[in-house]
Structure 1
Amino acid sequence: MRYAIIPAAGKGKRFGKKKQFVKVNGKTIIQFTVEVFEKSEFIDRVVVVAPEDAIKEMEKELEHFSKVEAVVKGGCERQSSVLNGLKAIEGKCKEVIVHDGVRPLVTKKLISELFGAYQDYGVEGVITAVKPKDTIKVVGANLEGNDSLVIKTLNRERLILVQTPQLFNYEVLYRCHKKAFEEGFWGTDDASLLEHYGHTVVAIKGDYRNIKITTPEDMEIFKIFLSQIKRFD
């Protein structure tokens, strides 16, 4: 059994409202996202993590998706929300994908490539990522306003910009999440927990159009990409 956990419990502070429920072309962002997993032959069941005060609303939005097994309560941080999702499927699966609910341009092809790499490399985790296009610098002391003192320039050939979906061995990911919770370790994504506890993670090529909607400007980019991308091929 293969599950997808879709954390969508954000409060939308930077966006101004819960962006997972914003509608575009008659569908909410979370519906765009779940639809791809619903149509993927690699996914058997889906668990969505929602804000505690919006569980009923989320259930209503997803009631027509046959693979959605449950909507569970989110935590105070994304990491806590994923842990709640993992608890909900304990003992039910061997592999689990974690994908941000507000990355609505994920494709079936990308999901397929994740599982292909997972099988080929025999590792505990496979993530999607793209190369940075801009020069990346390390900054130090804050100056006036948002200005910063530049320390050095990084070699971008050795850097990647990480996305979701990310695919993991369920037991390994769950064990890392529980240990991180006990130790008070907070990672920036699920793969960082595996890295922290010594497990192997491989990165495969992602998609520059697989954006995470964070600000209102991202919504405009989403609308443009939506007309270009083939999500179900």
Structure 2
Amino acid sequence: MVESGATQYAPILLKGASLWLTFLGATSILRGAKSILQPSEQELLPSKTLSLVDSQFRYLGAFLIGYAPVTWWCSNDIQARAVPLNWIMGALFLSGIARLLSANVFGWGPSWTQWATVTESIYMLLSKHPDVAGKMRQEHNEQFSTHSQRSMQQLVEDPMKLQGVAYTDAVIKETLRLLTVGFGVRCAPRGLALNYDGQKFPIDNDLAVCLNCHDLHYDERFFPNPASFKPDR
């Protein structure tokens, strides 16, 4: 039986994609922020911001390299092989380790991954809403210096200046609302019970209480037009 063109050339294309992922990943790991920022632009950024951008690119490189061997492995027998979950998880695990190593090299602790995730989410939403980005920039220019190093010095001298950026705080909260975790698990304190439809349900008997954060954050009763990014809520 003659193979179709797609079946015949798919392994070659996948191997090519694997090599390309390896090249992109290695370039991102080796060059970091230099991939997009000229030396003159790097000088304008605070050192911590530059480290954050640099680490993000190195993390991306590790992520791509992690998927490259999986792609190559799949190309050897496309019809018979469904990618096992442990391969995917292994790639993600290696990417996470690379991210932590990159973070520690640049002086960030393990909690850096949480900050980086929130920062990535905010950047993504701001790129899609330039009006929000402009309003944030205006607020920053009013509260701080237009020079990054001077702004950092102002915050060192008076950290309470952060209390004056209410709109920026709203942007962060709206980002966390939109891109929330699926659910959270908590344990109820002693004596706590839920009242529903005239009945009382004790929940303090070692029950794990699951909070459906996603549905709560997308409930129109609390957040009209919940899928929209509206920091002014």
| TM-score bucket of the superposed structures, by smaller chain | under 0.3
The structure that has the greater radius of gyration is 2
Task: Tell me which protein shows more strand as a share of its residues.
Answer: 1
Task: Tell me which protein shows more helix as a share of its residues.
Answer: 2
* TM-score using structure 2 length: 0.28
Structure number with higher relative contact order (C-alpha < 8 Å, ≥ 6 residues apart): 1
